[in-house]
């Protein structure tokens, strides 16, 4: 029971401190789940995150469920998924009750502008940390990263298609180079 409570608390923090969408959770997951608890590696978090983007639903809840299941089985997945969604449910309910009265106040608008700026920094830090473990060689960079980045940034190609194409490209690169796996693309 103690492990489930620890899992619940960890993902309540993830859910309560993630402002700005699914990408904003990456630095929190990296710090808490990877570095503090050691429940997953950077590579596993990236894999769970990629899978979560391909599924319907909230990326944060999907990712949390994968990590919870990895840690403590099906019940762990349910606990982590629920815990990550709980703060949002509470916060949204409170905000919905009061925000319409205060949304036009300059202090509220300025607070949200500050939060958005902070989220960009947190996402940039997470990208830098994840970059180091994801870019294992030049083939990964040239064959997978650059085309996926270009398609994502400059076209309307679905993220699901990009993830599937990147997975297939990773398999092809490994087959051509003779690699067996271990987190390499």
The string of pLDDT tens digits covering residues 118-158 is 888 888 888 887 777 777 777 777 888 899 999 999 998 99
Return the domain boundaries, the chain: 2-104
Q: 77: pLDDT confidence band, cut at 50, 70 and 90?
A: very high
Per-residue pLDDT tens over the stretch 86-118: 988 898 888 788 777 777 888 888 988 898 898
Mean pLDDT of 20-48: 83
Sequence-distant (≥ 6) Cβ neighbours of residue 123 within 8 angstroms:
20, 23, 24, 26, 27
In this structure, the number of other CB atoms found within 10 A of the CB of residue 33 comes to 29
């Amino acid at each position: 029971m103690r492990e489930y409570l620890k899992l619940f608390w960890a993902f309540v923090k993830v859910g309560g401190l993630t402002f700005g969408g699914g990408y904003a959770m990456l630095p929190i997951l990296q710090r808490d789940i990877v570095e503090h608890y050691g429940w997953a590696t950077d590579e596993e978090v990236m894999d769970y995150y990629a899978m979560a983007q391909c599924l319907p639903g909230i990326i944060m809840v999907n990712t949390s469920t994968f990590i919870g299941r990895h840690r403590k089985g099906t019940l762990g997945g349910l606990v982590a998924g629920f815990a990550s969604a709980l703060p949002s449910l509470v916060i949204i309910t409170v905000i919905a009750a009061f925000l319409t009265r205060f949304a036009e106040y300059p202090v509220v608008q300025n607070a949200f502008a500050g939060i958005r700026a902070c989220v960009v920094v947190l996402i940039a830090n997470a990208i830098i940390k994840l970059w180091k473990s994801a870019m294992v060689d030049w083939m990964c960079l040239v064959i997978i990263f650059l085309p996926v980045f270009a398609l994502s940034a400059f076209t309307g190609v679905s993220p699901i298609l990009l993830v599937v194409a990147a997975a297939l490209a990773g398999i092809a690169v490994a087959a051509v180079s003779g690699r067996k796996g271990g987190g390499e693309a």
